[in-house]
Amino acid sequence: MSIQQSIKPLRGFRDYMPEDLLAREKIISCIKKVYESYGFAPMATPGLEYKETLLSSGGEEINKQIYSFIDKEGNEVGLRFDLTVPLSRVVAQYTDLPMPFKRYQIQPVWRFDKPDPGRFREFIQFDIDTVGANEMIADVEIILAMYDSLIALSLTNFRIRFSSRKILNSLITCAGIPLDKSLSIFKVIDKLEKQGLEAVKQELGSGRIDSSGAEIKGLNLDELQIKRIMDFLLLPQGTRDEAIASATEFFKGVPKSEEGLRELKEISEYLDAFEIPKEKVVIDLSIARGLDYYTGPVYEAILLEAREFGVVLAGGRYDQLIKRPTGEKLPATGASIGIDRLFAALKKCTQVESKSSVADVLVTVMLKEKMVEYLKISHRLRKEGINTELYIGTEKRIGKQLEYADRHSIPIAVIIGSDEFSNNQITIKDLRLIKKEKIETVEHGDYLKARIGQKTVQSENLIEEIKQFLQESR
């Protein structure tokens, strides 16, 4: 292995340097606060599980993506690829958990997937799930929590779409297609947004050639079946009420179709109780959501200014997945956020603040022999809640130290030279202002010469003055 390789992360893996990690943490804590306001409590599970546990949820595609190996004790083990499987294991194991069990979980998952920009082999999932609640109110809570989260992230231009897996099941019945074909049909319908109606039609029929010239096999449905599906996909569905009316009309006389319709109605009525703009939470009858295990309502969110990132938040009800050793099945519903993708999408919407330092102040060092004094001043600031870095690097020149502060986006520098020491004074420099004004000297790297945003104050007023500096937004 070359040296080049071993100083890099593996392909599809990435480091989070302070600037990005601080921004990602902010997103996470924002959403966490919302989820906690609904009473979801945190849980964490191990990164490694028995491979058997991971395989139990089925889904061939995912199974191929599991990082698995034999451990030194001879167990077949694997890295978790999602947080739903560990949740199922936990609920099966802790039989005395009071129900409903509402938990959130923020942990990395690993998938041996094809790496893409924005698609990693290790990424943080942020899941909320309610286990043990049958009623639609549980699904409504998930949708509301999704909505509140997006608002909390200062997003305005997003859309939450929901439907029910049962609606698509009715479509299969209504089109006279055997039920065992439904998953493959759902996967084609799932492509509607990305590939368009014509591509879906072809894939339901004899297949098509994609833009790269590759052949995509069709499902070979007959014309009548395809027409039925096309009619469904073209149903007018503006507001939630309109969508429900369309679907009701469409499914008239189709056995068991009331169930899905009732779910949509119930959810919609609960949502009506809130002052949520109608266009922000809509019904989209064509939503399938890839995962095999959904049984009822499904929901997803997209950012309208960053559509290319696709769905940033999605979930649904899965009443058949969680099974206790007794055979008892527990209903569950929940949503998942791929934090790294959301982060990338938010960056595009310029919603992510860039800050590469946690320090508010850099205390520079002009006189090495006064180090104890600098240390004491740093500590005085810290005790006041001001994050303070004392310069402990090798640069002796103050200009270079200010450059260091600027590279770390530390807004304020504190300078105490011999004059200041003898006058019991301290000089404060606002580096943001220097940068904003693009002082000529700064462009030459000489922050020291820029007199702008600089103030020399009595030592006893330091805290007060710095707090004032920090409050002034640049």
Q: What residues between 305 and 364 interact with its own copies by CB under 8 A?
A: 325, 356-359, 362
Stretch that binds its own copies, among 43-51, 213-221, 243-251, 435-443 (CB under 8 A): 43-51
Stretch that binds its own copies, among 14-22, 189-197, 224-232, 435-443 (CB under 8 A): 14-22
Stretch that binds its own copies, among 12-20, 157-165, 312-320, 436-444 (CB under 8 A): 12-20
Q: Can you name the residues that pair with 283 across neighbouring β-strands?
A: 162
63 scored as a contact of its own copies (CB under 8 A): no
Q: Which of 389, 411, 430, 439 binds its own copies (CB under 8 A)?
A: 389
455 scored as a contact of its own copies (CB under 8 A): no
Any idea which residue has 């990602």 for tokens?
24
Question: Tokens at residue 284, please?
Answer: 């989209």
Instruction: Report the nearest approach of its own copies to the CB of residue 405 (Å).
Output: 9
Cα angle 325, 183, 291 (rounded to 5 degrees) comes to 55
48 close to 112: Cβ distance less than 8 angstroms:
no
388 scored as a contact of its own copies (CB under 8 A): yes
179 scored as a contact of its own copies (CB under 8 A): no
Residues 364-383 that bind its own copies (CB under 8 A): 371-372, 375-376, 379, 382
DSSP 94-127: -TTPPSSEEEEEEEEEE-----BTTB-SEEEEEE
467 close to 360: Cβ distance less than 8 angstroms:
no
Instruction: Report the nearest approach of its own copies to the CB of residue 362 (Å).
Output: 8
- Stretch (H or E) spanning 425: strand 425-430
22 scored as a contact of its own copies (CB under 8 A): yes
* CB-nearer residue toward its own copies: 40 or 250: 40
Distant-in-sequence, close-in-space partners of 234: CB < 8 Å, separation ≥ 6:
197
Q: Which of 27, 31, 62, 77 binds its own copies (CB under 8 A)?
A: 77
Question: Tokens at residue 416, please?
Answer: 């105490």
454 scored as a contact of its own copies (CB under 8 A): no
Q: Identity (one letter) of the amino acid at 28?
A: I
Distance of CA 283 to the CA centre of its chain: 22
463 scored as a contact of its own copies (CB under 8 A): no
In the shown chain, the binding pattern of residues 398 to 427 toward its own copies, with x for contact by CB under 8 A and - for none, equals ------x--xx-x-----------------
State the burial class of residue 78 (Cβ atoms within 10 Å of its Cβ: 0-12, 13-18, 19+). Answer: buried
Instruction: Report the nearest approach of its own copies to the CB of residue 311 (Å).
Output: 24
Residues 261-280 that bind its own copies (CB under 8 A): 269-270, 273-274
47 scored as a contact of its own copies (CB under 8 A): yes
CA proximity to 305, closest of 412, 178, 454, 153: 153
59 scored as a contact of its own copies (CB under 8 A): no
90 scored as a contact of its own copies (CB under 8 A): yes
Angstrom distance (rounded) from CA 469 to CA 474:
10
Question: Tokens at residue 18, please?
Answer: 């302070």
* CB-nearer residue toward its own copies: 407 or 474: 407
DSSP 143-154: HHHHHHHHHHTT
Q: Total residues contacting its own copies (rule CB under 8 A)?
A: 100
Q: Identity (one letter) of the amino acid at 299?
A: Y
* CB-nearer residue toward its own copies: 144 or 261: 144
* CB-nearer residue toward its own copies: 168 or 244: 244
Q: Which of 18, 58, 196, 445 binds its own copies (CB under 8 A)?
A: 18
* CB-nearer residue toward its own copies: 302 or 381: 381
56 scored as a contact of its own copies (CB under 8 A): yes
In the shown chain, the binding pattern of residues 126 to 155 toward its own copies, with x for contact by CB under 8 A and - for none, equals ----x-xxxx-xx-xx--x---x-------
160 scored as a contact of its own copies (CB under 8 A): no
Ramachandran angles phi, psi of 211, nearest 5°: -60, -25
Question: Tokens at residue 292, please?
Answer: 């095999």
Distant-in-sequence, close-in-space partners of 368: CB < 8 Å, separation ≥ 6:
396
* CB-nearer residue toward its own copies: 160 or 185: 160
* CB-nearer residue toward its own copies: 286 or 388: 388
Distant-in-sequence, close-in-space partners of 423: CB < 8 Å, separation ≥ 6:
none
Instruction: Report the nearest approach of its own copies to the CB of residue 398 (Å).
Output: 16
102 scored as a contact of its own copies (CB under 8 A): yes
Distant-in-sequence, close-in-space partners of 301: CB < 8 Å, separation ≥ 6:
146, 150, 158, 159, 160, 161, 311, 312, 313, 314
